[in-house]
């Protein structure tokens, strides 16, 4: 039997952080997605224990300032794309610059320097991942999905989906439907 699971990255990561911080009896404040303020100085032993505990979940502490800002860019984009409650109706460049307090040019150059890809490519990948999740959930049409993700048309979404995955969103829908039918018959 196969199950399809929906989850909130932010909630999962926050829960893991809280559990691991509490296991080590550390005093902390979670400031935002991916940001934790420790209210006490960590011994080397506790720091190593904490990083080891997080590594079990493929979570790592970012120490380089450039990498920290790139991670904030990624987190902001993921939050913007996957946010169920609101649809961001401003240009991504404006949203990132306003949210992170740096010019978009600076953010874009830094992101490319550290990740060897562009912010635009990262956004497309996130949108396609979210599109796949929404198709699997099955309660929105492709028109509704393209509107939700601020595409100018279903054709634009379809083109990016096919360029990224190799198949069209409609073909992906058919695959998911066929898999569900097979599972129900077994």
Report whether pLDDT(155) > 60: yes
Q: What does pLDDT average to over the chain?
A: 86
Categorize the per-residue pLDDT at 125 as very low, low, confident or very high, splitting at 50, 70 and 90: very high
What would the mean pLDDT of 147-170 be, rounded to a whole number? 93
**At residue 38, what are phi and psi to the nearest 5 degrees?**
-85, 135
pLDDT of residue 54: 86
Lowest mean pLDDT among 14-18, 83-87, 138-142, 178-182: 83-87
Report whether pLDDT(2) > 80: no
Dist. CA 9–CA 102, nearest whole Å: 25
Cβ atoms of 110 and 76 closer than 8 Å: no
Dist. CA 134–CA 172, nearest whole Å: 11
| Residue 111 neighbours by CB under 8 Å, 6+ apart | 70, 73, 117, 118, 119, 122
Percent of the chain scored above 70 by pLDDT?
Answer: 94
Dist. CA 175–CA 11, nearest whole Å: 30
pLDDT digits (tens, 9 = 90+) for 106-117: 999 999 998 999
pLDDT digits (tens, 9 = 90+) for 56-97: 888 888 778 888 899 899 989 988 888 766 555 678 899 999
Domain spans in the chain, listed from the N-terminal domain onward: 1-61
| Residue 3 neighbours by CB under 8 Å, 6+ apart | none
């Amino acid at each position: 039997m196969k199950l399809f699971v929906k989850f909130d990255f932010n909630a999962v990561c926050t829960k893991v952080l809280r559990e691991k911080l509490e296991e080590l009896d550390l005093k902390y404040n979670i400031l935002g997605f991916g940001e934790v303020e420790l209210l006490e100085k960590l011994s080397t032993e506790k720091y190593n224990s904490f990083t080891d505990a997080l590594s079990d979940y493929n979570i790592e502490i970012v120490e380089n300032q450039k990498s920290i800002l790139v991670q904030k860019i990624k987190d902001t984009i993921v939050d913007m794309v996957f946010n169920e409650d609101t649809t961001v109706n401003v240009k991504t460049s404006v949203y990132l610059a306003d949210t992170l307090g740096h010019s978009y040019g600076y953010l874009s150059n830094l992101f490319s320097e550290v990740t060897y890809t562009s912010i635009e490519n990262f956004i497309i990948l996130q949108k396609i991942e979210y599109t796949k999740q929404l198709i699997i959930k099955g309660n929105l049409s492709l028109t509704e999905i393209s509107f939700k993700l601020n595409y100018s048309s279903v054709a634009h979404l379809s083109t990016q989906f096919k360029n990224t995955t190799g198949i069209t969103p409609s073909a992906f829908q058919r695959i998911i439907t066929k898999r569900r039918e097979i599972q129900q018959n077994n």
